[in-house]
C-alpha cells in the first residue's frame, strides 16, 4: 500500500528526532511529579480531588498528547519547505495517502506516551488494573484529533508559524478547556459551554471513566471526540488536496 510505504519513511524521520520524542514523553511525567507533590501538601479539609492520581493520571495522559500536534505539524511543514514534497506531488499518492502516511507512525508514539504516563502513575498510587489498557485505547481518538490539527496547521503554515500555533496556542487551549486543572463546570457560563463543545474535556472525562471502571459512561463522551477526529482528518485531507492543486 502506497500510504504505508510513505508512513515507513515518516516513522524513520520521527525516530531520528530523539530530542522531541524524549520531550514529548518526559514533560507529562514532570507535570505529574510536580502536581502529585502539590496534592500531598493540600490539606484534607480543602476537599481538593482533581489532583488525586485517579483523576490526574488520565488528565495528564490526554494533555501530554497535545505535543503530538506540534510534532505532526513540524513534520509536514518541514517536508513542504523542501524539494522532497514537490517530488511527492507528482507521485501516485492521493491526498488521503499523504495524511494517512503522516498519521499512522504517530499513533504508536501517542500510545507509548500514554502507557509511560500510566506506568509512572503507578508509583504515585494508581492501582494496577486492566482499566489502564482500556484508558490507553480510549486515548487513541484524542491522539488522532491532535495529529489532525497538527497536519492541518502544518499544511497551511510554515515551520516558524506552527511552533506558535501548535506549540503555544493549542497546548494552552487544551489545558484551559480540558477539565484537568479545575472543574470547568464551576466557572459556568460560556466557558463551561465551550469546554463541553470542544473535545479536550470529553477526552479527559472518557479516560477517567475508563480508569474508574465506569464503562457505561465512556462512549457518550468518546463519540464526541471520535466525531472531531473524523471531521479534522477530513479537513486535513481537503486542505492538503487544495495545496497540491496550487503547486
Residue 45 lies in a domain: no
Conformation bin of residue 96: beta by default, left when phi > 0, alpha when psi is -120 to 50: alpha
Closest-CA residue to 95 (of 232, 245, 227) = 245
pTM here is: 0.88
Q: From CA 228, how far away is CA 234, in angstroms rounded? A: 10
Residue 134 lies in a domain: yes
Q: H or E stretch including 103?
A: helix 95-103
Read off the pLDDT of residues 22-36 as tens digits, 9 standing for 90 and up: 776 777 778 777 777
Range of the domain at 116: 2-38+50-245
Q: From CA 230, how far away is CA 145, in angstroms rounded? A: 8
> Please, are residues 162 and 70 in contact by the beta-carbon 8 Å criterion?
yes
Read off the pLDDT of residues 124-164 as tens digits, 9 standing for 90 and up: 888 999 999 999 999 999 999 999 998 998 888 877 777 77
Number of domains, the chain: 1
Residue 165 lies in a domain: yes
Residue 182: count of CB within 10 angstroms of its CB: 11
Q: 91-95, 196-200, 209-213: which range is least confident on average?
A: 91-95
Residue 44 lies in a domain: no
- What's the mean per-residue pLDDT of the chain? 82
Residue 106 lies in a domain: yes
> Please, are residues 64 and 24 in contact by the beta-carbon 8 Å criterion?
yes
Contacts of residue 242, Cβ cutoff 8 Å, sequence gap at least 6: none
Q: From CA 191, how far away is CA 157, in angstroms rounded? A: 28
Greater confidence (23 vs 55) lies with 55
Give pLDDT, residue 15. 67
The answer to whether residue 221 scores a pLDDT higher than 90 is yes
Greater confidence (218 vs 181) lies with 218
Residue 214 lies in a domain: yes
| For residues 68-84, average pLDDT | 77
Residue 43 lies in a domain: no
Q: From CA 129, how far away is CA 138, in angstroms rounded? A: 15
Residue 122 lies in a domain: yes
Amino acid at each position: 500500500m502506497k500510504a504505508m510505504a510513505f508512513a515507513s519513511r515518516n516513522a524513520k524521520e520521527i525516530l531520528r528526532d530523539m530530542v522531541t520524542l524524549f520531550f514529548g514523553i518526559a514533560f507529562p511525567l514532570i507535570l505529574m511529579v510536580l502536581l502529585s507533590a502539590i496534592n500531598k501538601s493540600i490539606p484534607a479539609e480543602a476537599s481538593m480531588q482533581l489532583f488525586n492520581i485517579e483523576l490526574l493520571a488520565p488528565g495528564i495522559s490526554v494533555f501530554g498528547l497535545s505535543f503530538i500536534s506540534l510534532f505532526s505539524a513540524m513534520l509536514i511543514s518541514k517536508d513542504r519547505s523542501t524539494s522532497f514534497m514537490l517530488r511527492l506531488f507528482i507521485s501516485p499518492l492521493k491526498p488521503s495517502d499523504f495524511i494517512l502516511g503522516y498519521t499512522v507512525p504517530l499513533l504508536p508514539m501517542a500510545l507509548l506516551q500514554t502507557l509511560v504516563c500510566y506506568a509512572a502513575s503507578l508509583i504515585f498510587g494508581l492501582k494496577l488494573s486492566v482499566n489502564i489498557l482500556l484508558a490507553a485505547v480510549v486515548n487513541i481518538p484524542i491522539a488522532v484529533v491532535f495529529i489532525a490539527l497538527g497536519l492541518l496547521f502544518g499544511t497551511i503554515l510554515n515551520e516558524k508559524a506552527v511552533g506558535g500555533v501548535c506549540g503555544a496556542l493549542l497546548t494552552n487551549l487544551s489545558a484551559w478547556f480540558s477539565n484537568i486543572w479545575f472543574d470547568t463546570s464551576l466557572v459556568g457560563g460560556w466557558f463551561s459551554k465551550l469546554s463541553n463543545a470542544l473535545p479536550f474535556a470529553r477526552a479527559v472525562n472518557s479516560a477517567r471513566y475508563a480508569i474508574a471502571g465506569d464503562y457505561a459512561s465512556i462512549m457518550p463522551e468518546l463519540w464526541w471526540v471520535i466525531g472531531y477526529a473524523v471531521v479534522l482528518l477530513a479537513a486535513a485531507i481537503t486542505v492538503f488536496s487544495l495545496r497540491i492543486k496550487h503547486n
